[in-house]
Structure 1
Amino acid sequence: MSTDPAPPPALPVRRVRFEYPDDLDPAWNRRLPEFAFGANSVSLLMPYAEPYFIRSIRAALPQLDQRLRPQVESFLRQESGHYRQHRRFNDLVASRYRGITRLERWIERSYGWLGRTRSVRFNVAFAAASETIAFALARWSEAHLDEFFDEGDSIATTLFLWHLAEEVEHKNVAYDVFEAIDGSRVRYSLAMLTTFTLLAWFATLGTLLMVLGSGRALKPVTYVRLLRWSVSLAFAVLPVMAASALPAHHPRDFADPVFLPMWLKQYDPATGTMPLWRAPASVRRGLIFGP
């Protein structure tokens, strides 16, 4: 009788596509536009960071046990869906604010350089560490759902919450690949420091460009809010980063947020739709749909 544990199941692949109106305001939270700018600045990284993760994990596939492959391949399909939807959203952001296109070129060069010059083991460690940070961002966001999202544009809000919910769902996968091909805590810690530095640097630059472009640069409340959220986020993310670098750590040890995974279950695979966040039922269909 076999005692091998059951292979991890494949992840659901939700073929969601967002239709953004041409007049969508990138400051999609009118009460807290600074939060929208911060979220948008993270979105700017997705079309470059996530393809880098995908290439890194794919390069490791020949080294993996066949039992892991169904979950890993479905993880890659989820990531592919994320960056494609953010790419279209980012085009709207870049059309409204000067300097965003140039910033995107810097981001593209940075992740491209890592992919070309680092080893497969480092690149996989980078992907695993990045997924840990994304999970921490998801937990922090759920803790502030009412503050950050209740008065936000329904389409933009649904884009970000759908992505964050799937980050929770696949929090283990990139780490399992890293553990299977390497597992070095030193390499993982270095990759964690690198990905956090890039994220913080580019998110700061993107947020400042949008603050300047929106005319809010001379408003003291802008910087009070950004400082308060930065401190709150640091207290949420840094302990997760530190714990994840411990020798006995595995992402499954982290407690998942409660709401986001439950909300994700509202996806309708027959129609490829997610209900718009807090939108009236009459507009939930048709704005977000499958290919």
Structure 2
Amino acid sequence: MTDLQVRKMRFGFADYDVPFLWNEDNPAFSCMANAVSFLAVAFEKMIGAMIPEAMPLITDPAVAEEADAFVRQEGQHSMAHRQHVKGLIKSHPALKETLDEVIAAFDDLTANTSLAYRLAYTADLEATFTPVFKLMLDNDDTLFAPGDDRVASLFLWHFVEEVEHRSSALIIYDHVVADPIYRVRVAPAIFKHVMAVVRMAAEGFNKHIAVEERRVDALSTFVTHRYKQEIRRRLPFGTKTDNGPVQNAFAHLPAGQQLRALAGIVRSQMPNHKPAHEKLPALAEEWFDRYDAGYDVTNWYTAAALREADV
């Protein structure tokens, strides 16, 4: 029997304007997280079509139950991120073009790639989430706490539930496809696609949002772009494309933590990888405990401040 819970969350994005620069202390992280919201809407739409296609091939009732809970959790994530993106588009209508482009990139996968490939895509990408999100959740005091509590709380919820269902996509893949080597073999193409979609979102931000508002080049997410821009700025001649200063969203994080996250990403793509064995962020357990206790997790930081004030 699956341990996954389907939690329905509403984050009040319609209550007042959703800022693009939701964490003013870290503009590069704001841009990166916004790109994740765009990616989440499209990726989870693909999952929503993929799991019903896979269900007739699942013969183990336990795997079928896991798949059902997994797709329902992802459906909730998609709806919440749609509300976040809708808020961004309300303030910047031209971003609808970027959202359509990102969704089209995943609709193309649904229409033109095999079920095995999409299951591998999901298993490979989901396998990276625990080490990546552990790095972020272990540093929530600088990455999330200073920002708009609705946006911060959305990502905390999404990331802890990704940790919760960290094994689901691989369980489904192993049951339906049962070929660990294929998953490894297609990984380069999968991550090339993921990075292309993130770049698509970032380029849309640069195109449609004034640098005065975003304050950084939205392509700062990419190490190679930051490096190239720094070189261009030092050259006394040549063509320069300037969408604002570049910034490393994680520059202030301990190098050791970043290296462990990178090692976890590499480990996640090995054919014998078991996500269940991954070290988990402490914040995930705290989040689940507070949710079970009835805490307002949709306002993670402001609810905590109010509770402390009452005490």
TM range, normalised to the smaller chain?
0.7 to 0.9
1:237 and 1:197, CA in 2 relative to 1: closer, same or farther beyond 3 A? farther
Q: Which runs of 5+ in 2 are unaligned?
A: 218-241
Quote the Cα distance in structure 1 between the aligned partners of 2:125 and 2:274: 14
Of residues 12, 24, 28, the one that matches 1:19 is: 12
Q: Report the secondary structure of 2:107's partner residue.
A: helix
The answer on 1:253 being equivalent to 2:277 is yes
Q: Report the secondary structure of 1:18's partner residue.
A: coil
The answer on 1:36 being equivalent to 2:30 is yes
Quote the Cα distance in structure 2 between the aligned partners of 1:227 and 1:156: 18
The answer on 1:243 being equivalent to 2:267 is yes
Quote the Cα distance in structure 1 between the aligned partners of 2:252 and 2:184: 25
TM-score using structure 2 length? 0.78
1:173 and 1:126, CA in 2 relative to 1: closer, same or farther beyond 3 A? same
- Structure 2 counterpart of 1:28, one-letter code: W
Which range moved further: 93-102 or 226-235? Answer: 226-235
Residue pair 2:138, 2:282 contacting (<8 A) in 1 also:
no
Instruction: Quote the residue 1:3 is aligned against.
Output: none
Quote the Cα distance in structure 1 between the aligned partners of 2:4 and 2:71: 10
1:217 and 1:32, CA in 2 relative to 1: closer, same or farther beyond 3 A? closer
Alpha-carbon offset, residue 248 of structure 1: 2.1
Quote the Cα distance in structure 1 between the aligned partners of 2:40 and 2:151: 15
1:222 and 1:261, CA in 2 relative to 1: closer, same or farther beyond 3 A? farther
Quote the Cα distance in structure 1 between the aligned partners of 2:188 and 2:20: 30
Of residues 28, 48, 59, the one that matches 1:54 is: 48
Residue pair 1:243, 1:249 contacting (<8 A) in 2 also:
yes
Identity %: 22
Instruction: Quote the residue 1:73 is aligned against.
Output: 68
Of residues 116, 133, 155, the one that matches 1:160 is: 155
Instruction: Quote the residue 1:274 is aligned against.
Output: 297
Residue pair 1:48, 1:108 contacting (<8 A) in 2 also:
yes
Quote the Cα distance in structure 1 between the aligned partners of 2:118 and 2:10: 28
The answer on 1:213 being equivalent to 2:236 is no
- Structure 1 counterpart of 2:67, one-letter code: V
1:151 and 1:281, CA in 2 relative to 1: closer, same or farther beyond 3 A? closer
Q: How does 1:90-239 map to 2 (within 5 A)?
A: 90-97=85-92, 99-210=94-205, 213-215=210-212, 216-217=215-216, 222-226=245-249, 228=251, 235=259, 238-239=262-263
Quote the Cα distance in structure 2 between the aligned partners of 1:114 and 1:234: 31
TM-score using structure 1 length? 0.83
Alpha-carbon offset, residue 281 of structure 1: 5.6
Q: Report the secondary structure of 1:168's partner residue.
A: helix
RMSD between aligned residues: 3.0
